[in-house]
Amino acid sequence: MKVDKVIASATTILPLRLTGVGYSVGKTELLDGIDLTVNAGRRLVVMGPNGAGKSLLLRLCHGLIAPTSGSISWQAQDPRPAAQAMVLQRPVLLRRSVRANLDYPLALAGYARAARDEMVQKTLTRFGLIPLAERPARLLSGGEQQRLALARAWAMRPQVLFLDEPSAALDPSATRAIEDLICQFSAEGITIVMTSHDLFQARRLAQDVAFLHRGRLIEHGPAARFFDAPQTPEARDFLGGELIW
Amino acid sequence: MDGPFSIAIGLIASGDPALTGTIALSLKVTLTAVSIACLIGLPLGAGLALARFPGRGAIVVASNALMGLPPVVAGLLVYLLLSRSGPLGDLALLFTPTAMVIAQTILILPIVISLTRSVVEDLWSEYREQLRSLGAGRLRAVPTLLWDGRVSLVTGILAGFGRASAEVGAVLIVGGNIAGQTRTMTTAITLETSRGNLGLAVALGIILLLITLSLNAAAWGLAQSARGRLG
């Protein structure tokens, strides 16, 4: 798969650099001392047991919450550049039609009506949503809802797309469809940062892996190395299916 | 000798002008009050749901408590404001439909504010991260949340309409129950009953019940079909 087709747009917002990033609530440190660089054009899968802080890490990167220590900086000096999108673990679809759901963020971004109509139409076509365009988004099936959530994120023309457990509640065929889309995004040059609790999915999709354990980043590197020769006992146990906390 | 019910049916069937005039004025006053209360209450309630400031809790409690404001008290307040010696006496609004609209707006406003706050607050906790992710700040979230909460909001606004159209105390005090000018269905029922003119009172009672019934049917139907259409 061709992934080196670096984004054509004039300014690139990547790499994203996290330096000593921590997030604590009261005295509980949920994330601590994270140093991580997200490079353009890669598919990075953040792995780790439940409660390791995967979701939190993505929300920090996306700018939904601010770190309580350390810093997060984009190549573009903008603290929260627009050319990034996220699909939340439980995406909220608005109580409107599929078409209106796609239109909404584009309107927020300030695109004019005509440009939006064209972008929405293109997105509907691209994701096979034309037959569903006028349907209420909340009444779609789980797989269709997730497809719409991905389409909505894609329509915002992100350079980097954060995906939090993108197929957590889906059946195998819907999961397959979502994974295909992720690979296509990647081939289009969109940098992917996703979490997954599914080892098989991580093996299928990851080019790089960041392994979190109890709020610390204990391994980060190419996926092949992580899966074949994990460096830490925690990662070995995790890959071996042991329960680690 | 006809009973009040057959007289009532006769009056309704013949489209008695006194009857239709009273109904029209009632609806006009209440609809205007509901509209004004929505114009003020929807943004205010949504703002109250999203904003955090000192004294917010007190406002929430006050607006909740005012939902139970006795109509006669609301009427009395407006009376004091608008009476000749009151602060707004120069406007000469007492005993006009405008005074009735003001009194009813005061009755409906707390319902609209409290309901909007509760609906928008619930939606906000669900939508918050998603809207932020899509690029909407708090201010921009207000119309989004109002629109997505439209079904619950309409149901509540109809409840406000029901309260206003059924109350007698406020409109009686500030309107004065002047025939052809400020006589509404409820004040007319009060008067006609005390005069023993039961036919007209019953006719108005039937109409009032029908209006309330059809409004609630509409609200229910709307909610049902919206659940089917919007999920």
**Tens of pLDDT along A10-35?**
578 888 999 999 999 988 899 999 99
Task: Return d(Cα A25, Cα A215) in angstroms, integer.
Answer: 12
**Nearest neighbour of A92 by CB, restricted to B130, B135, B147:** B130
pLDDT of residue B174: 94
Burial class (CB in 10 A: 0-12, 13-18, 19+), B15: exposed
pLDDT of residue A245: 52
Residues 6+ apart with CB under 8 A from A174: A142, A143, A146, A167
pLDDT of residue B6: 87
Mean pLDDT of A211-223: 93
> Token digits for B76?
């009395």
ipTM, 2 dp = 0.88
Q: Are A160 and A84 in contact (CB under 8 A)?
A: yes
pLDDT of residue B219: 82
Residue B13 has pLDDT above 90, yes or no: no
Question: Which one, of A173, A101, A88, lies nearest residue A132 by Cα?
Answer: A101
Residues of B in contact with A105 (CB under 8 A): 134-135
Angle between helices A113-126 and A142-155 (to 10 degrees): 140
Question: Strand, helix or coil at B34?
Answer: helix
Task: Return d(Cα A172, Cα A190) in angstroms, integer.
Answer: 24
**Nearest neighbour of A95 by CB, restricted to B130, B134, B230:** B230
Residue A1 has pLDDT above 70, yes or no: no
Does B230 contact A86 at a Cβ distance shorter than 8 Å?
no
DSSP-derived secondary structure for B163-231: HHHH--HHHHHHH---TTTT--HHHHHHHHHHTT-HHHHHHHHHHHHHHHHHHHHHHHHHHHHHHHHH-
Mean pLDDT of A171-198: 93
Q: Are B12 and B206 in contact (CB under 8 A)?
A: yes
Residues 6+ apart with CB under 8 A from B128: B141
pLDDT of residue B108: 94
pLDDT of residue B156: 85
Residue B37 has pLDDT above 50, yes or no: yes
Task: Return d(Cα B167, Cα B184) in angstroms, integer.
Answer: 10
**Tens of pLDDT along A29-44?**
999 999 999 999 999 9
Buried b (16+ CB within 10 A) or exposed e, A184-219: ebbeebbbbbbbbebeebbbbbbbbbbbbbbbbbbb
Name the residue range of residue B55's domain: 4-226
Residues of A in contact with B130 (CB under 8 A): 88, 91-92
A24-33, A47-56, A70-79, B131-140: which has the minimum mean pLDDT? A70-79
Element at A195 (helix H, strand E): strand A191-195
Task: Return d(Cα A49, Cα A235) in angstroms, integer.
Answer: 10
Question: Which one, of A225, A226, A195, lies nearest residue A48 by Cα?
Answer: A195
CA max distance for chain A: 56
Does B230 contact A82 at a Cβ distance shorter than 8 Å?
no
pLDDT of residue B57: 93
> Which of the two residues, B128 and B226, has the higher pLDDT score?
B128
Mean pLDDT of A164-180: 91
**Nearest neighbour of B231 by CB, restricted to A59, A138, A152:** A138
Instruction: CATH number of the domain at B186, please.
Output: 1.10.3720.10
Residue B2 has pLDDT above 80, yes or no: no
Question: Which one, of A134, A182, A133, A132, lies nearest residue A160 by Cα?
Answer: A182
**Nearest neighbour of A88 by CB, restricted to B133, B140, B144:** B133
Does A96 contact B230 at a Cβ distance shorter than 8 Å?
yes
Q: Where in chain A is the domain with CATH 3.40.50.300?
A: 16-92+157-239
Element at A10 (helix H, strand E): none
A75-84, A128-137, B96-105: which has the minimum mean pLDDT? A75-84
Residue A131 has pLDDT above 90, yes or no: yes
Q: Establish if B86 belongs to a structural domain.
A: yes
Identify the band that residue B64 occupies on the pLDDT scale cut at 50, 70 and 90: very high
The total number of structural domains in chain B stands at 1
**Tens of pLDDT along B171-229?**
999 999 998 899 999 999 999 999 999 988 999 999 999 998 888 888 888 888 877 66
Mean pLDDT of B91-103: 94
Residues of A in contact with B126 (CB under 8 A): 92
DSSP-derived secondary structure for A125-166: HHTT-GGGTTSBGGGS-HHHHHHHHHHHHHHT--SEEEEEST
pLDDT of residue B231: 60
Is the domain A16-92+157-239 a CATH 3.40.50.300 member? yes
A157-166, A213-222, B86-95, B221-230: which has the minimum mean pLDDT? B221-230
Does A92 contact B127 at a Cβ distance shorter than 8 Å?
yes
Identify the band that residue A192 occupies on the pLDDT scale cut at 50, 70 and 90: very high
Residue A8 has pLDDT above 70, yes or no: no
Task: Return d(Cα A61, Cα A17) in angstroms, integer.
Answer: 9
Supply the mean pLDDT for chain A. Answer: 89
Identify the band that residue B71 occupies on the pLDDT scale cut at 50, 70 and 90: very high
